Amino acid sequence: MKVTAKELAYLLQGDIVGNEEVSIDSISKIDQSQPNTLSFLANPKYEEYIYTCLSAIVLVSKDFAPKQEVTATLIKVADPYAAFTFLLEKYAEQSTNKKGIEQPSYIADSAVLGTDIYIGAFAYISAGVEIGNNSKIFPNVYIGEGVVIGENCIIYPGVNIYYGCKIGDNCIVHAGTVVGADGFGHAPQADGTYKKIPQTGNVVIESHVEIGANTTIDRATIGSTIIRKGVKLDNLIQVAHNAEIGENTVIAAQTGVSGSTTIGSNCMIGGQVGFVGHIKVAEGSKIGAQSGIMNEIKESNRAWIGSPIYEIKQSFKMQAVYRNLPDLQSRVNELERLVKELINK
């Protein structure tokens, strides 16, 4: 779909410098620009690329004054990054703007489907399922008995949602994710074997949550594993049974949250972080990548890193000492040699 500079400027309430009839059919980064595309310049350190870029149109700030000739048509807006993000959202909507029920697919007679929904081919919608208005269920999705999915949700291909789980409004679940598999509950027996503990709870995902590809969220043993409103989970994350992730917390890839751990609201957690079970993490905690959380974090809005974790400033001081250890060892060895000489004398 081609869009002209004139149409973009109208949509973004921007001012055109150049040919208003030039058109674009795709987007590209300004440092990897391609003909017939749209780019943006928000960070001054990338300004050099605007003078050689191949893009047909570039979004710039209203106060941008080029130091050299620019061949691209410019659209001046208040915030280029925000404007570009807005256009990306519109572009993405086109790829998910699907409606109707494709065949073959299975929809149980007792399932309740909202208006303007999409069910892709080979999807399986079990008995008692409820799907809200304008939600999209892509091909090869399995939705178990009694699952409730709210309005304006997108469930991408290959997602499996087990029985009894609940998902709020405006959620996105990416491909390959499993919601509601059994928690890892096995009781050791006297003969050295393990007996499975029935996992009778469910998973509750509140509204405005996005879950990355191939993430797993286990159902609770009793009660619910809970993902609160506004949480953003990256790819390849494991959330164990009865865990709770607080509102607006973001977690990067390959992090593992053990059972019955509660993470507070507005936390930022890096990749490959590990949490032991049955602890609480205070709201606003920032945790660096590959950290090991072995004890409760009680102080809010603090930054931590390491395994075991230390407050980040303390950790940096410790690292400075570690770097000097070889030199310190040499100095200690020299002091020991001098002391021995003095003793001998």
Counted domains in the chain = 3
Query: How far, in Å, are 16, 193, 250, 269, 291 from residue 264 at the CA level?
Result: 46, 36, 11, 11, 17
Q: Is 278 found in the same domain as 147? A: yes
**pLDDT tens, 137-175?**
999 999 999 999 999 999 999 999 999 999 999 999 999
* 187 burial type by CB count under 10 A (0-12 exposed, 13-18 middle, 19+ buried): exposed
* 8 Å CB contact between 124 and 141: yes
Radius of gyration of the chain from its Cα atoms, rounded to whole angstroms: 27
Peptide bond connecting 104 to the previous residue in cis, omega within 30 degrees of 0: yes
Q: What integer is the mean pLDDT of 236-262?
A: 98
Catalytic residue among 174, 186, 208, 241: 241
Exposure string of 240-249, with b = 16+ CB inside 10 Å and e = fewer, is bbbbbbbbbb
**pLDDT tens, 39-93?**
999 999 999 999 999 999 999 999 999 999 999 999 999 999 999 999 888 877 7
* 8 Å CB contact between 263 and 283: no
Peptide bond connecting 35 to the previous residue in cis, omega within 30 degrees of 0: no
Which pLDDT belongs to residue 191? 96
- What is the bridge-based pairing of β-strands 232-233 and 210-211? parallel
Q: Is 242 found in the same domain as 189? A: yes
Residue with tokens 């001054």: 44
Q: Is 308 found in the same domain as 237? A: yes
> Mean of the per-residue pLDDT values for the chain?
95
Q: Is 262 found in the same domain as 147? A: yes
Q: Is 322 found in the same domain as 250? A: no
| Amino acid (one-letter) located at 27 | I
Nearest by Cα to 165 from 196, 211, 106, 118 = 211
Query: How far, in Å, are 30, 31, 34, 50, 184 from residue 43 at the CA level?
Result: 11, 12, 19, 11, 47
CATH code: domain of residue 62: 3.40.1390.10
Least confident segment among 32-41, 126-135, 312-321: 312-321
Q: Which of 96, 111, 137 is the last residue of a domain?
A: 96
How far is 238 from 235, CA to CA, in rounded Å?
A: 9
pTM: 0.85
Q: Which of 96, 112, 146 is the last residue of a domain?
A: 96
Q: What integer is the mean pLDDT of 283-311?
A: 95
How far is 262 from 247, CA to CA, in rounded Å?
A: 11
Residue 241 is a catalytic residue: yes
Q: Which domain covers residue 332, as residue numbers? A: 317-344
Strand partners, 17: 74
Q: Is 124 found in the same domain as 91? A: no
